[in-house]
A and B are shown apart, each in its own frame.
Chain A
Amino acid sequence: MIRLEGVQKVYEDGFKALKNINIEFKRGEISVLIGPSGCGKTTTMKLLNRLIEHTEGKVLIDGKDISTIDPIDLRRSIGYVIQHIGLFPHMSIKENVAAVPKLLKWDTERIEKRVTELLNMVGLDPDTYKDRRPSELSGGQQQRVGVIRALAAEPSIILMDEPFSALDPISREQLQDELVRLQKEIQKTIIFVTHDMDEAIKIADQIILMKDGEVVQQGTPVQILQNPANEFVEEFIGKERLQKYRSMPTVEEFMEKRSAIVSPDMPLPKAMKQMEEHHLDTMIVVDGYRQVKGQLSIFQMFNNNDANKLVVDVMKPVKYRVQTGTPLEDALTLMSQHDVHALPVIDKKLGCLGLITKNRMIEGMARIYSMPRKEGA
């Protein structure tokens, strides 16, 4: 856990970059520092690895005042991903990833193993990529390397300074998804700086909104979206986005819950009966750990008319899914884009909660239309 207590940063020319900051970054969570440029978000982040020294107050990591830790040692114990990637162009991918372990004098075998593991983790084939130069990789691939470079020495804290801002929208979204997925595995304390509210909403466990060197509001994305502290926050979030999150029904409100869930070892006749009872043409296959295993549609039932078969024998893999809190509109867009009729609904811990189908969506949309519209919306 990281705590900032009464932290100030005053530059020599008298400029107050940070005024009395008191925040906590919880262990294993993604905390997003956000705000307009010059708000102090990057400064706050850089205090943590002492790239910038604070002038007042205390910065504590697990209760230890970081001003008592040698900055070089401190930095080697904290992962750092910078904007514009910042890979070393003269080093191979392997050397880049191995940079901090090398500084920490790991033996070569351990480094080799770690590099392979990390490249696999972000879907870059080690044999193909490890000897390439950064310039031979796409922007998205480069920043994947940037992220695993920060992970290499197994730090418990990772600082990310607008890491995806230089990427094209598609790579950016992919990397955001990947970061969320990765975080489930690695459970690091991540401090993430961005100016992109969509990004913050998508990845944050906690958002810290800053302005002019002060914290304006902090809370979960939903808390902030639902109760903006003041006009500045409302403005920063944007009227449109706010409107969407306030009035839009979300997928979990209209999803089929237990009724659409079958277990992989269920015999087909039993599953067929459940379909019939609930008037569903698609069901979601979920194991005992609430993990989505696949989906079962009426077509597969027709084609496999065999009472001895189990669900697991005929189910199809699931390609798309939506998170809780996703507005219906977004879910609908996804459905029509990929021509699917149903989407599993997943919570933050990737556990399956239910299934949203087109039929259910129609009911939801109908309710929006019957609602009285807010003024000025």
Chain B
Amino acid sequence: MKKKLILGSILSAAMLVTSACGGGGSDEITIGAQTYTDPKIIAHMVEALVEEQTDHEVKIIKDISASPQIISAMEQGEIQIATLYSGEVYNNHFGKDEVEFTTDPQKTLEQAQKLFNEKYDFTWFDSLGFQNKYTIAIKRDFAEKNNITKMSDLAPFADQLRLGTDSTWLERPNDGYRAFSKHYGFEFKDPKGMEVQLMYTGVENNELDVVTAYSVDPQIIQLDLKMLEDDKAFFPPFSASLVARNDMLEEYPDVKKIIESLTDTIDEETMTKLIYEVDINKRDEKEVALEYLKEQGLLK
């Protein structure tokens, strides 16, 4: 009886020590991913490379509801790495006097890199090579019939067109619906916010005519939609970058190298194809990520 007690307390003490080490920055690295597919694929790529080239364990937390939640989880050290988009810098994280709104991709990225480093102690790496930004997409037959190629071409039809979008876009201050209709000078008929996937269901069921697609959404291909050119330069750039906590990068320079190696390697077309494999062909995200890395010769 007594022996058991002693053994038990030694064991629990040992566990305490190990878990304390874990909290302080063990070999485990946690990567966060939003609900959509591109961050998940990127997370698996990082995971595969880290696990092949280092001894670190990698854990992925998926389906975190939105970028602000990712950022606060990173801030608290629950995750160390994530994929974020340069336009995030306009997302209420900084005061109006700290950040200047622009649609220029380079300036946007630079602001993100500078501000997140200063305020959050994150490194915002250079772009992975693709953007996943808001765009307006309509049905191709309608576009061709009415000769619509640019967003401003929608003006005469807008009040007849039913818009589906994610709930966020309706309320975003700088780059949301209200700013958009002011910028382009027209309003859609009955704009509705919803889960992103449902926008496409709505188009398919002919309940919606216009959607605010993300530029890498494979459904654009699948449903044969036409992405319209942002001819009045309204939408801010959303360049995808890996973002990581500085303390982790300092501790594990090898991880930093791996992240840097991914910079500017995946263009929009490639990412769309990968997402298509997952979302449309229903393949596993990890499998798709590994296949890509092997094709590129990055992984054995």
The answer to whether A and B touch directly, with their CB atoms under 8 angstroms apart, is no
Chain B residues packing against A (C-beta within 8 Å):
none
